[in-house]
Each structure stands twice: as structure tokens, then as C-alpha cells.
Structure 1
């Protein structure tokens, strides 16, 4: 009798272990993949959210950051929103939305620890995260650098969710507030036609800097993922 009970308990524990180790992570990963694919297919509809002001800024940023690896036009719309609304509020709304969107990468990492273990870029991200922690997360979220890989690594390492979300929020708010103010200042300059030499150089330098950062981010993202294949 005791042997039978012990066997039943063992089977139950094995079943629970299988569900926790494989079934739940696979379902979570599948959900993230489906969300990413749907958002990418309907990416052109994201621009319509711009009509909803601060709520639109929140939703645009949420959707843009919820896609893993696949590009979305969200960041470019932040410039336009900054020209039409209060740049600080646009930055705050976009920052909170972007931080929540980055949780898809975290969930993907937490649900598929074995997927990227042989990737060199994944191992680099893990090493950076172990060594520098919040500083790496802040650097990638406060700049146009691709943060998806860091989020995946954080999830796989079971990095504290609250800490990841907090640092992501801070970084995204800084990034999007800067973008919104650049959009506002650029538009005000065009409308007022105050094109003195100093303003011209500031606008040109800011524009070139943004383009260079975006270009480097795109190149870095493609290069690292190709190297990791």
C-alpha cells in the first residue's frame, strides 16, 4: 500500500515538474511569438494611434517595444507627438508604455532558457548583465541600442522583474522625452523660421546624432543576431 502511494506521489511530482519546466514555458514563448507576429503584420496600423495624444504615445511605445527583434515605426512617431503635445508628458507616457512592452523579451527569456544558450551574443549579454547589472539595462534602454537581447538574457537569468521594469522605465522615459523635445524644438524652429547660425548647427548636429545612433543600433542588432545564428 505504501509503495503504491509513494509511486503515485512520484508520478504526480514528475507531472508537475514537466508542466512547470516545459509546458508553461512553451505556452509563454508561443504567446510572445504570436503577439510579435501579429503586431508586425499590422505595423502600419500603429501610426493611427497617434491621433489619441498621450494615450496614443503610451500605446505606440507599448506596441513598438512588445515586438521582439522585428522593427516597428513607433520611435519615429514620438517626434511627431512631441511637436503636437507637451513633450514631457509624451516622454512619460511613451516611457511607461515602452517599459511594459519590453517585458515580452523578459518573458521570452524566462520561458525559453535553452533556446539561445549556444548563441555568442546571448552569452555576451549574460556576461554583461552579470557584471554590470542595472547599468547595462539602463544603457540599452536610454539609447536606441537594441534592448531585446538584454531583456531575453534578464528573463533567462531570472533577474528580478521589479528591478528590470524599474530600470527600463527610467531609461525609456529619458530616451523618449529627449525624442519628444527634439521633435518639438525642430517643429518650433521650422514654424518660427528662426534659422540663425547657432540654431542651424544645433538642429543639424542633433539630427545627425540621432541618425548615427539609429544606424549603429540597426547595424549592431543585425550583426549580433547573424553572428549568433
Structure 2
């Protein structure tokens, strides 16, 4: 299954370029990583093929917009959660904002599955959507820029290390 995702995804992104990366990042974050796409691998590996700056920014936008869908999902579950844990929800909301919520959002987006979990959580506690989106956008762009530039500077070294010969791609 993973091999088919890798090969099919690689062909899809190779054909669609930046739009393909945008869509892959959007799908991964909108589905809270339940639809497993190795977007980090693709951003890293396409960093040498596509412009790493554009790749990082466009992938970051795709991930950030997808996170808004996860946030909306969390808002939908708010009533269910509030019925059971209502007295804790307001306190959690206050504490989250009090203890540097923006930084927690940024850090969570650098952890696998963390971005999806924090997006749903922010939706449940009705964290300000504008502040959430700005924090997610900046962290997704930063994360994807790190990956794409890492790929840009290291893919040829890795290919040499593992003795792969892909001259048509690089």
C-alpha cells in the first residue's frame, strides 16, 4: 500500500508540480492524517526538482487551508464534548490562551499528527480562527521550507550514498 502511494504520488506530483503538492498537503491535513500521504517525503524529494522556495510556500498554504477543515471538524464536535466536559472546556480555553497558545500551535505543526490534533482541539475550544490560521500558515510554511531546502541540498548526496542513478530527474 505504501509503495503504491509513493509511486502513484510521485507520478502525480511530477505531472502536476506545485498544484499536486498543494493538493497532497491539503488532503493530508484536512483529513487529520487519516488518509496517510507521505507529504514530508514528497516535499523533501521534490526540493531538488522544483523551486524549493515556491515548493515550501505552496505546500505550506495547502497544509494551512487543510487545517482549517480540521478546525471546523473540531467545532462540530464542540457540543458533544461540552455536554460531557463543559466545566473543563472553559478553563482549558483560558489556560491555552494564557500559556502562549500560538507557540503550541506552531510546535504541534512540526510534530507528525500534531497539526491535526491541535487543529481539532482549537476548533473544540473555539480558539480565534484568524489567530489559528496565521499560526498554522507560518508554521506549515516554515516546516515545508525546511524540508524542501533540505531536499534541495541533500538529494544528490543521498542518491550517491545509496547508489541510485536518476539523471532524468536531477
5+ long unaligned stretches in structure 1 = 1-42, 196-229
Write the distance in 2 (CA, Å) between the matches of 1:160 and 1:127: 12
TM-score, length basis structure 1: 0.56
Counterpart of 2:128 in structure 1 is 160
Counterpart of 1:50 in structure 2 is 13
Write the distance in 2 (CA, Å) between the matches of 1:60 and 1:47: 11
Q: In the superposition, relative to structure 1, how do residues 128 and 60 fare at CA in structure 2: closer, same or farther (>3 Å)?
A: farther
Deviation string for 1:67-120 (max 9, x for gaps)?
Answer: 12423222221112112111111000000000011112211111111445668x
Q: In the superposition, relative to structure 1, how do residues 132 and 190 fare at CA in structure 2: closer, same or farther (>3 Å)?
A: closer
TM superposition shift of 1:158: 1.5
Q: Give the structure with the larger helix fraction.
A: 1
The counterpart of 2:96, out of the listed 129, 154, 158, is 129
The counterpart of 2:52, out of the listed 73, 87, 90, is 87
TM superposition shift of 1:54: 1.4
Count of matched residue positions in the alignment of Structure 1 and Structure 2: 149
TM-score, length basis structure 2: 0.74
Q: Which structure has the larger Rg over C-alpha atoms?
A: 1
5+ long unaligned stretches in structure 2 = 162-170
Counterpart of 2:107 in structure 1 is 139
TM superposition shift of 1:62: 0.8
Write the distance in 2 (CA, Å) between the matches of 1:186 and 1:116: 45
**Higher RCO by CA contacts (8 Å cutoff, separation 6 or greater):** 2
